[in-house]
A and B are shown apart, each in its own frame.
Chain A
Amino acid sequence: MDTIKLTIDNREVEVPKGTTILNAAKQLGISIPTLCHFEFKGMDVHNKPGGCRICVVEVAGRRNLAPACVTECMPDMVVRTNSMRVINARRTVLELMLSDHPNDCLQCSKSGKCELQALAIRFGIRSNPFVGPDHAQSSYQIEVSPSIIRDMNKCVMCRRCEMMCNEMQTVGALSAIERGFPAVVSTAFNQHLDHSPCTFCGQCVAVCPVGALTEVDNTAKVIRAIVDPSKKTVVQVAPAVRVALGEEFGMKPGSIVTGKLTAALKALGFDYVFDTDWSADLTIMEEGTELLGRLKRFLGGDKDVKLPILTSCCPAWVNFFEHQFPELKELPSTAKSPQQMFGAMAKSYFAEKINCKREDMVCISVMPCLAKKYECGRDEFKVNGNPDVDFSITTRELAALIKQANIDFTKLPEEEFDSPLGESTGAAVIFGTTGGVIEAAVRTAYEVYTGKQCPKIDFEELRGLEGIRSATIDFDGLPINIGIAHGLKNARKLLEDIKAGKCNFHAIEIMACPGGCIDGGGQPLHHGNGDIIKARWEAIYQADKEMPIRKSHENPSIQTLYKEYLGEPCGHKSHELLHTHYFDRQTTVEVDLNK
């Protein structure tokens, strides 16, 4: 490979051709400040509009300062990253940005994690010469949707959210609009997010450097429910939470904190601490049975059978196909997501067991996800207006609750989930990452279909972090073609193939977020550090390995559930409680013949 030698801050460095000054400096341990720049290594995500100008450096022989994030190294370049001129320019850029930014850091939900605040601290901004008359400052209405709060007064126009929404997710809900001070990232015609193709995946929130995009905060609702003596609180925790929550307490990425997490939830005062992993096992029973049912019809020559079957655990993905591919809405499994299966079972099966009325139970979920907040509000998941899952909080919100309750998380003992909705298998925990749902389904479907024990349990061919993966699994002579996509742009590619009739998969797993739930919009912020995602990913498979039972159909609590309550997978009662249907939510233009 061609390399280039250059000098940065009086030190020589050799880098491959095409390297930016920013990355060359990094190689020398010089960290040039950035704001709009966002590079998510390993996920093929880049945002470098070169717009914020925080990263400017002095290049000898060049008249103006150069943005380091987009300027490529040239042979014998002489770069200064910390000259007086550079530092003054950076301060001016920061002061200008802060002149159009509210000074409410004390109340801002991003405080302490805000990248603009960090820069203001780093550069010692104490006053601002540019605070202008009122008309120079933009002002926008704060918008609250089921999952996301948009306070565009705080937007710094880095456009990372726009990049995630359009390039990573190909959702197209967000775009930069207007110009000058009114310029902002918004939806078409400035409409509410509810009226846009937004999937509530929350990847925009995950990359927002400031407090412009944040999650709807339900922590106060949690406390209210816990202290209400007339309510029984039932909490469920998603698989991906247990490999990320520790980061909020200074533990190293990839720490598996299942036991401490359980102890924390009990210390917070929830009446029943259960596990979404339990309902993930239930999902496999239903979805796996549905897959086998469709396969058998297909093998029997039924031409109308809907294949490939698509997983339906991810609510952002469900939103995506409802908005963008409604013509394929018969393909996804009708099985509800684990969150919703849990809610449905908690408020029927479990409520009957403890003799609690539906309306006296508050079912709360802890999710790595923002779309889950939206999902629990969907009408089809309510009975007489009472939702199966009352509301959902994110991993970040749980961390905030634990801190408020004076709980020293790292010193907590390891505790166990309550029974019976807390028993689970290794197959359930891998739901937390891309490829996990389909691997769990294969472990069960193989044994149900062939009636034999599966020769292996770790399907390495289904694992990985590449955007689109495929594998053929031998079901004792029957080859099953499996596709996997994560990140909605990758999902889109597979869906286009299906529409074009170029798809030979029997089953496809799709997760909206890059990496799956481990990188959900509600997880601790990773600030573009791909190593954190890798560590969570490894931890998920480690957690699977540590489980005594690793196949969903061997979960004794699930077996009892079918025996006592449901009958058989995909049976009458299951259909009523555990399956759903999808809607066409596409915006279309039609000719009005009356005009």
Chain B
Amino acid sequence: MDKIIIKMKKEVSDKIIEICDRFNNAPGELINVLHQTQDFLGYLPAEAQELIAERLHIPTAKVYGVVSFYSFFTMQPKGKYPVSVCMGTACYVRGAEKILDAFEKELGIMPGETDKAGLFSLTSLRCVGACGLAPVALVDGKVFGRLAPANVKSIVNEYREMDKQ
């Protein structure tokens, strides 16, 4: 195998290096560093993990081990309009699973994935504190309540239209 050179935008690498420095490049701070890097980038691409491994003197395999272990961390970039379907108890008993199914079908992606255009990403979460509106989904931070599977198409189209303008 030959030398592998990973190219990165300067502003991204500068920021990651700054985050690592903030934690004194201490290997024990890996989770904090990953947290803040994901806050900044929205996800943890392989390049970012390589750089963090280099700065913290941890094997890249170990960094990836942590990223793949915790469901909070993701290697998928978030879509422009992240969709989160609440699977908390109240939403669940009122049919949240069918809402999630409808989003999967409409967007053509599974939870944890982002569509090819980078427009939508889909996740499920546990309770947004709007149980009175169950079942609930969040699209780009906006709450949609009392959903039925039939509403999903029009919500998605609304954002597609918005993006065209």
Q: Residues of A at under 8 Å CB distance from B?
A: 166, 171-179, 186-189, 194-197, 326, 583-593, 595
Contact = CB atoms under 8 A, between A and B. Distances in A.
Interface in B35-85: 46-47, 49-51, 53-54, 58-65, 68-69
A242 to B, nearest CB: 33
- Taking each of B4, B51, B61, which has the highest tally of chain A beta carbons within 10 Å of its own beta carbon? B61
Given A178-B69, A589-B47, A188 B3 contact: no
A188 B1 contact: no
Contacts of B63: 188
6 contacts: A188-B61, A188-B63, A587-B50, A588-B6, A590-B6, A591-B10
Contact of A177 (B51, B53, B58, B64): B64
A177 B58 CA distance: 15
Nearest to B14: A591
Contacts of B46: 188-189
Contact of B69 (A166, A177, A326): A177
B2 interface: yes
Contact of B61 (A187, A588, A589): A187
B7 A176 contact: no
Contacts of B47: 589
Given A166-B59, A172-B61, A189-B46, A591 B13 contact: yes
A176 B6 contact: no
B5 interface: yes
Given A188-B49, A188-B63, A583-B3, 18 more contacts: A172-B60, A172-B61, A175-B65, A176-B65, A176-B69, A188-B46, A188-B50, A189-B49, A197-B59, A586-B3, A588-B3, A588-B4, A589-B13, A589-B50, A589-B51, A592-B8, A592-B9, A595-B10
B3 to A, nearest CB: 5
Interface of B: 1-10, 13, 46-47, 49-51, 53-54, 58-65, 68-69
Nearest to B63: A188
A90 to B, nearest CB: 28
A583 to B, nearest CB: 7
Contacts of B64: 175, 177, 188-189
A268 B51 CA distance: 52
B24 to A, nearest CB: 19
B62 A589 contact: no
B4 to A, nearest CB: 4
Given A195-B1, A587-B4, A587-B60, A595 B65 contact: no
Given A585-B2, A589-B47, A172 B59 contact: yes
A194 B1 CA distance: 6
Contacts of A175: 59, 61-62, 64-65
A588 B54 contact: yes
Contacts of B3: 326, 583-588
Most buried by B among A178, A196, A586, A592: A592
Contact of B2 (A178, A179, A583): A583
A412 to B, nearest CB: 41
Contacts of A174: 61
B5 A196 contact: no
Contact of A196 (B13, B61, B65): B61
A379 to B, nearest CB: 10
A439 to B, nearest CB: 33
A196 B3 CA distance: 11
A584 B3 CA distance: 6
A189 B50 CA distance: 10
B59 A592 contact: no
A592 B68 CA distance: 27
A166 B63 CA distance: 13
Nearest to B13: A591
A592 B60 contact: no
B69 A590 contact: no
Contacts of B51: 589
A166 B68 CA distance: 18
A203 B63 CA distance: 22
B1 A178 contact: no
Nearest to B47: A589
Nearest to A180: B69
B68 to A, nearest CB: 5
Contacts of B2: 583, 585
A186 B59 CA distance: 12
A589 B8 contact: yes
A177 B13 CA distance: 25
A536 to B, nearest CB: 31
B152 to A, nearest CB: 26
Nearest to A196: B61
A539 B96 CA distance: 70
A587 B62 contact: no
A172 B6 CA distance: 19
5 smallest beta-carbon distances between A and B, as pairs: A172-B59, A592-B7, A175-B65, A175-B61, A188-B60
Contacts of B49: 188-189
Contacts of A166: 59, 62
Contacts of B54: 588-589
B94 to A, nearest CB: 27
A177 B65 contact: yes
Nearest to B59: A172
A196 B59 CA distance: 10
B61 A186 contact: yes
Contacts of A194: 1
Contacts of B65: 175-177
B34 to A, nearest CB: 14
A134 B156 CA distance: 35
A178 B10 CA distance: 30
A591 B47 CA distance: 11
Contacts of A177: 61, 64-65, 68-69
A195 B4 contact: yes
